[in-house]
Amino acid sequence: MTTRLIVETREIDPVDDLLAYADPDRPLAWLRRGDGIVAVGAPVQISIAVPAGRGPLRSAIIAEQWRELASAASVDDAVGLPGTGLVGFGALTFDEGSNADSVLIVPSMILGKSGGRGWITRIAPEGEELPADRPDATIDPTPYGPHWAGTVGPGAQTPEGHRDAVREAIRRIGAGEASKIVLARDLAGTVPAASDLRRLVRELSTGYPDTWAFAVDGLIGASPETLITVQDRTVTARVLAGTVGRGADAADDAAARAHLGSSPKDLDEHAYAVRSLLDSLAPHVSAVRSDETPFLLELPNLFHLATDVAGELSEGESSLDLVGAVHPTAAVAGTPTPAAMAAIREIEPFDRGRYAGPVGWIDADGNGEWAIALRCAQFEQGDGDIRVTAFAGGGIVAASDPDAELLETRVKFRPLVDALA
């Protein structure tokens, strides 16, 4: 029997630092330029987890479970902004066959801020008091813990191993198995026990304000790549594929821009990613439109080729349904997708878990914001130090160079490695 939730959202004065209210050990947050939503404290009301072994229907199972939960909920939303009302925070695996769990978490309380307005959402099962009506409830901020530093080094894939993997991908592409294969490598390490992980989220959020800074079930990062956004049935997405590191000065930046904008390898990689997204959206979205040529997206440490896509959502669909339809895109898997996924499983010496998978939120009407979990790491609490595994990757095409691809991963690791330090 589906749990019937009672949901109430009320406007409050905007909170300056939303993260100060999150759980230091397991923050639950979605932020961009200081706006966004965070779960207040540690209690979790509902956790929809689809474990390993459920096969290729994992994303569809979560979408259907959310539809049932949302349709049974009683929602009193006096604010009506994106992120208000009933909201679930989600992190799904990259590969449906992963050994990691895909999760969708509904917290007891959510604080939000957008466009100078603030709100609080309180959620409880029918028949129970809403949080903050209970005598033991609190919505006070929690002081940040002391600064900490983590250490990471090569994981299952060494730098030389990554070069070899790139060579193998190029061989397969030359043999006609695929046009593009996206390969990643990992870093592994630890951070001290009882570290306040909100500090990492805040560092990423302030250092990379144009990305989506997220924390969901131990997955923490700052993604520049929107997978799907749905608001009032309008669908938007941004494709990023093709990357170059920024230079040391304005002249170097100009040279990097010129190289990326004229590079056949990067332009081909980007075109594959755009076509993959458009093909996946077509059965679910009408009036799809996209930029004819990519633009250059500037981040603090690199440039990306970017293309924006928009359309109108079909009746009965939700942002989670679209996530299941479009993931994995060519930007994180390759082209054609089945062949690229098969190559990734054979070439990479690790399970990506939720890296490069969908991360974001969904509301009771199916609206939501979903990014691809990039520039991120998975944190695993234990009895001692907290284990951390970070990932970075790049698209391999026929013209790829193993040394250049390794350098690209180092550039992409930098935001997280710097924040950990």
Q: Which residues are identified as catalytic?
A: 180, 225
Q: Exposed (0-12), middle (13-18) or buried (19+): which is 250, by Cβ within 10 Å? A: exposed
**118: β partners:** 12, 113
Q: In the structure encoding, which two tokens stand for residue 325, read together?
A: 């339809």
Distances (CA, A) of 242 to 165, 297, 308: 19, 10, 14
Residue identified by tokens 């603090």 is 300
Nearest to 131 by CA among 105, 106, 107, 108: 108
- What's the start-to-end Cα distance of the chain, in Å? 47
**296: β partners:** 305
Give DSSP secondary structure letters for 23-77.
-SSS--EEEETTEEEEE-BS-EEEEEEE-TT-GGGHHHHHHHHHHHHHHH-EEEE
Q: What CA–CA distance (Å, rounded) separates 370 from 91? A: 9
Q: Quote the radius of gyration of the chain (alpha carbons, Å).
A: 21
Q: In the structure encoding, which two tokens stand for residue 35, read together?
A: 């706006």
Q: Is residue 313 a contact partner of residue 283, using CB atoms and an 8 Å limit?
A: no
Residues 6+ positions from 248 with CB-CB distance below 8 Å:
none
Q: Is residue 195 a contact partner of residue 145, using CB atoms and an 8 Å limit?
A: yes
